[in-house]
Amino acid sequence: MTAPPVVAARVLEYFTGAPAATTPAFPELTEREREILERIASGANNARIAQQLGFSVKTVRNHSSNIFTKLHVSDRAQAIVRAATRAWAIDALPDVPAGRWQTMVQGIAHQLEGLEPANAPSPSD
């Protein structure tokens, strides 16, 4: 059985005193997709992300669709939860400064606002 890359990196850092090269939190995503996922998790919509990165909204939608496919999620809220879950499991995303976590969690809350719980009775019940 091999150790997960994060564990191996921490062991190497402990014994050598030097930080080991870390793998990104989402190796299946491109650097650009990780950047867009971070912005999605911060609560930015496609238009805002497009403006920030100098892309068209269609390009951001395409990247978002690729992210959802690679993470096996169906929407932004699930992608945010997946990002937060994976990041907490390894302490933090390497490319997300520690101070950004509060913003990301606020983004999760914003994305989930107004969603009905899965088991909630419908108004007609």
Three-state DSSP state, 12? helix
pLDDT, mean of residues 60-75: 94
In a domain, 101, yes or no: yes
Q: Say which CATH number the domain at 44 has.
A: 1.10.10.10
Could you report the per-residue pLDDT of 22-43, keeping only the tens digit for each?
A: 666 788 899 999 999 989 988 8
Tell which phi-psi region holds residue 75, choosing left (phi > 0), alpha (psi between -120 and 50) or beta.
beta
CA angle 108, 114, 115 (to 5 degrees): 75
In a domain, 41, yes or no: yes
In a domain, 42, yes or no: yes
In a domain, 103, yes or no: yes
Q: Which domain holds residue 62?
A: 31-111
Residue 92: pLDDT above 50?
A: no
In a domain, 62, yes or no: yes
Residue 67: pLDDT above 60?
A: yes
Name the more confident of 85 and 109: 85
Of 48, 46, 40, 47, the closest CA to residue 77 belongs to 40
Residue 93: pLDDT above 70?
A: no
Percentage with pLDDT > 90 across the chain: 33
What are the tokens at 60? Answer: 């951001």
d(CA 42, CA 23): 22
Of 7, 36, 37, the closest CA to residue 22 belongs to 7
Helix/strand/coil (H, E, C) string of 28-79?
A: CCCHHHHHHHHHHHCCCCHHHHHHHHCCCHHHHHHHHHHHHHHHCCCCHHHH
In a domain, 7, yes or no: no
How confident is the model at residue 81, as a pLDDT? 85
How confident is the model at residue 90, as a pLDDT? 46
How confident is the model at residue 32, as a pLDDT? 94
What are the tokens at 114? Answer: 């107004």
